């Protein structure tokens, strides 16, 4: 009996903090991307709530090892924790220069396992709605521990690092505040994404992903193309 050839789905890996971890919730941006790519690609969530780039860089080789599955794209979505104010939240804070070096190191690792620059997409932290986030902080017994202006510095560093590393970038911090719009509608608590924010990310990310996945074939035959008298002839061919 001949050995069956495995069906291997390509992968899109979403690597980030809580904004990525929650991307597969109802109406999440990851769910929307996964829905668009059903039967073409596995969308793999590697979001780690609360993590910064210092920790992410350490665990990356453990959670994205060399694999048989071809990688169609990787999103790198950090900064919302790195930009925490050092005096208010030293555990998560990462200095700006180190943040820049860390995301560049993440690219270097991905390159080392065969993921080319054109498959990597940075996503900047979104803007921070300070009044809403301060309420969340106070509920937990702490003072406001992030500022939108500081989040903007990390977003700008992310954009610059993307240019230096030759990778694409989705600048949420700028796009969500474009033309002075009320960006609070994109946030559920001042930091994390609302339904509208998830939709915003999904739509803008898809414009970057689409050309990377447009040539991926539909995996396994459409049911109407299966020979009902001899399904093996349809289902076991390459």
pLDDT in single tens digits along all 238 residues of the chain = 467 788 889 999 999 999 999 999 999 999 999 999 999 999 999 999 999 999 999 999 999 988 888 999 999 999 999 999 999 999 999 999 999 999 999 999 999 999 999 999 999 999 999 999 999 999 999 999 999 999 999 999 999 999 999 999 999 999 999 999 999 999 999 999 999 999 999 999 999 999 999 999 999 999 999 999 999 999 987 6
Phi, psi (rounded to 5 degrees) for 170: -110, 110
> Does some domain include residue 3?
no
State the total domains in the chain. Answer: 1
Residue 133's domain is classified under what CATH number? Answer: 3.40.50.1110
> Does some domain include residue 6?
no
Q: Is the pTM of this model over 0.85?
A: yes
Helix ranges (H only) for the chain are 18-21, 29-36, 53-63, 96-112, 130-139, 148-165, 172-175, 195-213, 231-235
> Does some domain include residue 5?
no
- Provide the annotated active-site residues: 18, 189, 192
> Does some domain include residue 4?
no
- Please provide the DSSP assignment of 108-143 as one string: HHHHHTT--GGGEEEEPPPP--HHHHHHHHHHTT--
> Does some domain include residue 78?
yes
> Structural domain of residue 162, as residue ranges?
11-236
């Amino acid at each position: 009996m001949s050995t069956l050839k495995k069906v291997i789905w390509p992968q899109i890996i979403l690597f980030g903090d809580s904004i990525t971890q929650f991307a597969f919730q109802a109406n999440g941006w990851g769910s929307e991307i996964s829905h668009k790519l059903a039967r073409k690609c596995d969308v793999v969530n590697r979001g780690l709530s609360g993590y910064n780039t210092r920790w992410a860089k350490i665990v990356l080789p453990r959670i994205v090892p060399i694999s048989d599955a071809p990688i169609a794209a990787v999103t790198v979505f950090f900064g919302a924790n790195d930009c925490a104010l050092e005096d208010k939240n030293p555990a998560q804070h990462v200095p700006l220069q180190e943040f820049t070096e860390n995301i560049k190191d993440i690219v270097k690792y991905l390159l080392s396992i065969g993921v080319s620059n054109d498959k990597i997409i940075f996503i900047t932290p979104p803007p921070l709605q300070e009044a809403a986030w301060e309420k969340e902080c106070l509920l937990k017994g702490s003072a406001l521990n992030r500022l939108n202006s500081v989040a903007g510095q990390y977003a700008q560093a992310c954009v610059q690092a993307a240019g230096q590393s030759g990778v694409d970038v989705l600048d949420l911090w700028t796009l969500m505040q474009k033309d002075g719009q009320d960006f609070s509608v994109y946030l559920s608590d001042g930091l994390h994404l609302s339904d509208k924010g998830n939709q915003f990310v999904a739509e803008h990310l898809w414009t970057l992903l689409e050309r990377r996945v447009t040539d991926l074939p539909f995996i396994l035959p459409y049911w109407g193309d299966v020979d009902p008298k001899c399904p093996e002839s349809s289902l076991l061919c390459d």
